[in-house]
């Protein structure tokens, strides 16, 4: 048929034309494939980019950690020399002031200062004689004659502490590091160094290859020793909500990065001084270097999308030509003899109309046989209605598992195997009667998939008496009930979640009980559900799940089956009890 003839038919029917249905169907199919695929690719790119940026930021932070280790190593070296010095020990043990021990201690301090370029002053304090020796003076620390660093120590009583101090102008000029001196588990004195704060700041800034947007140096008690914002220095992290939240997250991380708001925070910890180094880098500022990749992805997406539209129009037109050909033949039947290419299609349509009339005569004879087949068809149709949402959820879980276990596919392989077995069982409509053991095994496949997602949050208990296992029952009557508990019963509920499956024989009936500790059902909804379940009416339009199972029970066992629901929202939990007569001849 000529192209203009096809377009003439399309114009004739306008928006009601089947052609536009073809276009919409084709576009929908393409978009359903294209959009999730492109979204996954773009999300994965963002994930890989963030991981790479986090890795670079962490390496930078760990390099700065080495600088801090050398700083604190200088302090601890001096501390160990002082603790093991006999002159210092004599000074710490002396119950009264002694000029001899004080002089030797001062000489020891001066030697330490000559060997190290970091501290400007060193203080050694004895609790026995309440005297403090430095390189410049000896001072008896009475109630009103205290060094500023000693006041801070007395107020905190911490065995190790670092803190900055300001001068009269409010500018930070000194950094003190103080550590207790013990001998035989008894506190004997204090070792304290005084360092120029600007030298400390220079060490911080020089330790980074690339200076981050923000830097926090925090002690183990949450005291901010350095920050780009001077107002935050010498304050506690918990005094500001956002910094404290980041600090809490960073304390559990070592040699790694965390994502907080719009920042990538690289974290490093100093082993000896217990300092926490947090370097903030804005994600946008880093990702600016990779902007061309974003543009490339976006351009590729637009090109693919436009190509998809053209393909949809092309294939829709090709499909619609067949419809237009049939319409043309129906208008002019003589074309059939002139166009052998259209013979089969026309012959099929014409003979189909003729067959309808002939088959009307045999409908009555076949009715009784069709009623028997209808029963099996209803069961298969209801069984095939089982909501496939859990399949999509499981596929998403498998995708996440593969990403997490990119170096090993044991879990992904396991989940795919479980899902394949479950799908094969679900869509085997020929064998809808199985043993209780097989039904429990099928349900366990579904539970294995869910437990891979929820792990220890979900506890499953199965209690089936041995005499039940060989009994015959309907396939897939437990899995929808278990899925109902997980999807609806545990919605909005905090774990742990528990599901119990029990099976027993009583009075020649097979009884199942599926219980959960979920949110329960309100009294009004419970009465409505039980009224529907107890009705003899079979409604094929009912939603799947509990109603699906109930309808299949009635189709197979008639009045010799029942299903009831009990629930108590106050105590949490719902129990579904169903029973049917034992009939092993099915």
Q: How far is it, in rounded angstroms, from Cα 218 to Cα 207?
A: 16
- Cα–Cα–Cα angle for 550, 552, 558, rounded to 5 degrees: 85
Asked if 425 contacts 475 with a C-beta cutoff of 8 angstroms, the reply is yes
Q: How far is it, in rounded angstroms, from Cα 257 to Cα 278?
A: 9
Q: DSSP per residue over 517-537, as a string?
A: -S----HHHHHHHHHHHH-S-
Q: How far is it, in rounded angstroms, from Cα 113 to Cα 134?
A: 11
pLDDT score at 350: 42
Domains of the chain, residue spans: 1-251+260-361, 380-581
**Closest to 135 measured CA to CA, from 117, 152, 121:** 121
188-243 per-position pLDDT tens digit: 999 999 999 998 888 777 777 677 778 888 887 788 888 888 888 888 877 766 66
Residue 336 burial by Cβ neighbours in a 10 Å radius (0-12, 13-18, 19+)? middle
Cβ neighbours around 23 below 10 Å, total: 19
pLDDT score at 384: 53
Task: Say if domain 380-581 classifies as CATH 3.30.565.10.
Answer: yes
pLDDT score at 222: 80
Strands 574-581 and 458-464: what pairing?
Answer: unpaired
pTM, two decimals, is 0.42
Contacts of 391 (CB under 8 A, 6+ apart): 419, 423
**Closest to 580 measured CA to CA, from 501, 500, 512:** 512
pLDDT score at 542: 46
Cβ neighbours around 444 below 10 Å, total: 19
Q: What stretches in the chain show pLDDT beneath 70?
A: 1-7, 9-16, 18-19, 49-71, 143-144, 209, 240-246, 248-260, 271-274, 283-294, 318-362, 364-374, 376-410, 429, 536-544, 571, 586
Asked if 203 contacts 215 with a C-beta cutoff of 8 angstroms, the reply is no
The CATH classification of domain 1-251+260-361, taken from the options 3.10.180.10, 3.30.450.20, 1.20.1250.20, 3.40.50.920: 3.30.450.20
Helices (H) and strands (E) in the chain, counts: 17, 18
Q: How far is it, in rounded angstroms, from Cα 12 to Cα 6?
A: 10
- Could you give phi then psi for residue 3, rounded to 5 degrees? -65, -40
**Closest to 428 measured CA to CA, from 387, 380, 388:** 380
pLDDT score at 13: 67
């Amino acid at each position: 048929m000529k192209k203009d003839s096809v377009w003439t038919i399309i114009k004739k029917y306008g928006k009601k034309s089947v052609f536009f249905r073809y276009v919409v169907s084709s576009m929908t199919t393409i978009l359903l494939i294209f959009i999730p695929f492109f979204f996954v690719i773009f999300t994965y790119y963002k994930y890989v980019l963030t991981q790479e940026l986090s890795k670079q930021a962490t390496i930078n932070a760990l390099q700065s950690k080495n600088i801090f280790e050398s700083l604190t190593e200088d302090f601890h070296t001096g501390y160990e020399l002082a603790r093991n010095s006999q002159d210092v020990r004599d000074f710490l043990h002396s119950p009264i002031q002694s000029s001899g021990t004080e002089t030797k201690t001062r000489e020891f301090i001066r030697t330490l200062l000559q060997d190290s370029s970091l501290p400007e002053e060193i203080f050694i304090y004895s609790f026995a004689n309440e005297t403090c020796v430095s390189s410049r003076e000896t001072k008896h620390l009475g109630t009103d004659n205290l060094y500023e660093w000693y006041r801070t120590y007395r107020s905190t009583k911490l065995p190790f502490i670092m803190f900055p101090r300001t001068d009269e102008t409010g500018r930070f000029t000194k950094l003190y590091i103080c550590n207790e001196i013990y001998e035989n588990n008894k506190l004997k004195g204090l070792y304290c160094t005084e360092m120029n704060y600007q030298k400390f700041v220079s060490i911080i800034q020089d330790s980074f290859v690339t200076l981050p947007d923000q830097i926090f140096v925090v002690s183990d008690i949450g005291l901010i020793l350095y920050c780009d914002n001077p107002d935050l220095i010498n304050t506690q992290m918990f005094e500001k909500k956002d910094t404290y939240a980041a600090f809490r997250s960073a304390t559990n991380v070592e040699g790694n990065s965390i994502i907080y708001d719009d920042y990538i925070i690289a974290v490093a910890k100093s082993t000896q001084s217990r300092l926490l180094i947090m370097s903030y880098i804005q994600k946008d500022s880093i990702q600016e270097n990779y902007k061309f990749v974003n543009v490339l992805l976006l351009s590729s997406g637009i090109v693919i999308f436009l190509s998809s539209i053209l393909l949809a129009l092309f294939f829709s037109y090709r499909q619609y030509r067949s419809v237009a050909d049939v319409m043309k033949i129906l208008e002019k039947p003589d074309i059939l003899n002139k166009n052998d290419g259209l013979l089969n299609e026309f012959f099929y349509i014409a003979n189909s109309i003729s067959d309808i009339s002939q088959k009307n005569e045999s409908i009555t004879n076949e009715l009784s046989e069709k009623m028997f087949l209808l029963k099996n068809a209803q069961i298969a149709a209801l069984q095939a209605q089982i909501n496939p949402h859990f399949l999509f959820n499981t596929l998403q879980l498998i995708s996440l598992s593969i990403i997490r276990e990119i170096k090993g596919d044991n879990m992904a392989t396991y989940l795919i195997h479980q899902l394949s077995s479950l799908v094969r069982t679900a869509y085997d409509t020929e064998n809808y009667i199985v043993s209780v053991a097989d039904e429990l095994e099928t349900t366990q496949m579904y539970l294995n998939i869910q437990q891979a997602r929820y792990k220890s949050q979900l506890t499953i208990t199965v209690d089936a008496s041995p005499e039940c296992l060989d009994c015959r029952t309907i396939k897939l009557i437990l899995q929808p009930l278990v899925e109902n508990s997980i999807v609806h019963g545990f919605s909005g509920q905090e774990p742990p979640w528990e599901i119990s499956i029990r099976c027993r024989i009583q009075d020649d009936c097979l009884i199942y009980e599926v219980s959960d500790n979920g949110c329960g059902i309100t009294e009004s909804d419970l009465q409505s559900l039980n009224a529907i379940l107890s009705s003899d009416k079979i409604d094929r339009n009912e939603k799947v799940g509990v109603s699906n199972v109930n309808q299949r029970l009635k189709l197979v066992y008639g009045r010799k089956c029942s299903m009831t629901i009990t629930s108590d929202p106050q105590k949490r939990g719902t129990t579904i009890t169903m029973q049917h007569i034992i009939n092993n001849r099915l």
